[in-house]
Structure formats: structure tokens, C-alpha cells
Amino acid sequence: MRPERTFTPIDFAAWPRRETFYYFSKMAPTSYSLTVDLDATRLFRTLKAANCRLFPAYLWLVTRNLQRQEEFCLAEQDGVLGHYNCLTPLYAAFHEDDKTFSLLWTAYDDEFPAFQAAYLQDKARHGAHHGILGKAGETPPPNAYTVSCVPWVSFRHFAVHSYEKQPYFLPSVEAGKLRPEGEKLLLPRSLTVHHAAADGWQVHQFLTDLQADMDRFDTFL
């Protein structure tokens, strides 16, 4: 099922993060990045057996687990701070002909097969369109967050540096090239977060839940 996007304004008087948010957004604006290796052995094996692609599974898994925590859904809408109930992955479609990319987005669906079908449809319709926004005449929805992959590099660290002056609190996620290590396949994964939105505990919970879902991906097919 595809969730209908909603936005819930924050009640500052009752919000436990109000002082933390003020400190890291006004007094000491801070973002941070963390890169870890996730074990993709079982996920890769499951996808190969099911003849599924890794990238849409990666988009779906990351989106599913980010939006389980409202801290990763923090945003401003018309000057009002609040939380979205769901996120939309905004990802890069690479063009082999001129080595540029375009941004595409596919609405999240609770069912992976439905999301994968929508992703493949978006790629077929818009994947060859050049320009920074791949869907001509459209703009990404306000709950879109950046999630991408550098499939040529198995990095040890990756960080996103934004020069945007407007408030932006949604996370950014990047994956690298799968790296064999012994009998395992490791997937580098970088997460960049605004400290006003989320702390280390939320990052820990996201990575823990993400690894668990990767290991049991066969239950989502």
C-alpha cells in the first residue's frame, strides 16, 4: 500500500527535542556523517535467487527504516516545523552516454514488489531524459530525501556538505561498491544527518533495523 503523505506540525511546548533543536539549528548549527559497512551477504543471495535488482531494494530498505523514526522525517513546510509520515527516495539515474545523471523519485510503497514495479516504470519512462530533474515538468515532492550510490568506489568514508541557506533537516544516504571480505559481501553505507533533527541513538537504531531487514529480505518478496 502506498501511504498518503501527511505533515504534522510540532507542538514546541511538548516537544522533548525543543532545546536540542534550538541549540543545533540556531546556536551551533551542526550536521554529521557516519560511514559503516553493512553485511549484504544474505540480501545479495536473496535478490539473486529472486532475479531482483539491488538498487531498488536498497532504496526501499533505506526509506522503510528511515521513516520508522520521526526524527528522520523532520522538515519545514511553509515556515512551519513538523514531521512527514513517510519519505520519498530521490535518487540519481546515471547516463552512460555523457557520464551525467538526472534525479528521479519514486513514491514509497509498503510492499516491495509494488515499489520495485513503480521504480522500473519510472526508469523506463524517464531514465533517458537528460537534465538535473529527470521527470520533465515535475519537481520532487517536499518529503523527498537524497539517497544514492557510488557503485564504482568501495569507500571507507563519505560525507555530504550542503551550502543551502534554507532550513533542511532530512537525511542523506549514500552507498558504495560491494566489497568481498572473506565469505561476506560488505556494503559501505554513509548517513549524513542534521544534528538538530537526530542524534546518535536514532542513527544506531536505523542501522540496526536496516541490517535486520537486509537479513530477512526474503520475507518482503
Q: What is the pLDDT of residues 154-181, one digit of tens each?
A: 998 888 877 666 779 999 999 999 999 9
> 6 in a domain, yes or no?
no
> 203 in a domain, yes or no?
yes
* Cell numbers placing 99: 557520464
> 15 in a domain, yes or no?
no
What does pTM read for this prediction? 0.97
* DSSP E strand stretches across 99-198: 101-105, 144-149, 172-175, 179-181, 184-194
> 5 in a domain, yes or no?
no
What residues are paired with 33 via a beta bridge?
192
CA nearest 31: which of 181, 206, 170, 140? 170
Mean pLDDT on 1-21: 97
**How confident is residue 3, by pLDDT bands cut at 50, 70 and 90?**
very high
Mean pLDDT of the chain: 96
* Cell numbers placing 189: 553505507
> 88 in a domain, yes or no?
yes
Q: Which domain holds residue 50?
A: 24-220
- pLDDT value at residue 65: 98
Residue-wise pLDDT for 97-120, tens only, equals: 999 999 999 999 999 999 999 999
C-alpha span between 58 and 56 (Å, rounded):
5
CA nearest 10: which of 83, 87, 95, 88? 83
- pLDDT value at residue 176: 97
Residue-wise pLDDT for 135-150, tens only, equals: 999 999 999 999 999 9
How many of the other CB atoms lie within 10 Å of CB of 8? Answer: 12
Annotated catalytic residue 126: no
> 4 in a domain, yes or no?
no
CATH number, domain of 143, equals 3.30.559.10
> 41 in a domain, yes or no?
yes
Mean pLDDT on 73-88: 97
- pLDDT value at residue 163: 62
Which residues lie below 8 Å from residue 45, measured CB to CB, with a gap of 6+?
Answer: none
Q: What percent of the chain has pLDDT over 70?
A: 99
What residues are paired with 189 via a beta bridge?
36, 175
For 110, left (φ over 0), alpha (ψ -120 to 50), or beta?
A: alpha
Angle between helices 41-50 and 54-66 (to 10 degrees): 130
CA nearest 39: which of 174, 207, 159, 219? 207
- pLDDT value at residue 164: 65
> 19 in a domain, yes or no?
no
Report the domain count for the chain: 1
Angle between helices 54-66 and 200-215 (to 10 degrees): 140
Which residues lie below 8 Å from residue 181, measured CB to CB, with a gap of 6+?
Answer: none
Active-site residue identified among 83, 126, 194, 195: 195
- pLDDT value at residue 162: 72
- pLDDT value at residue 74: 98
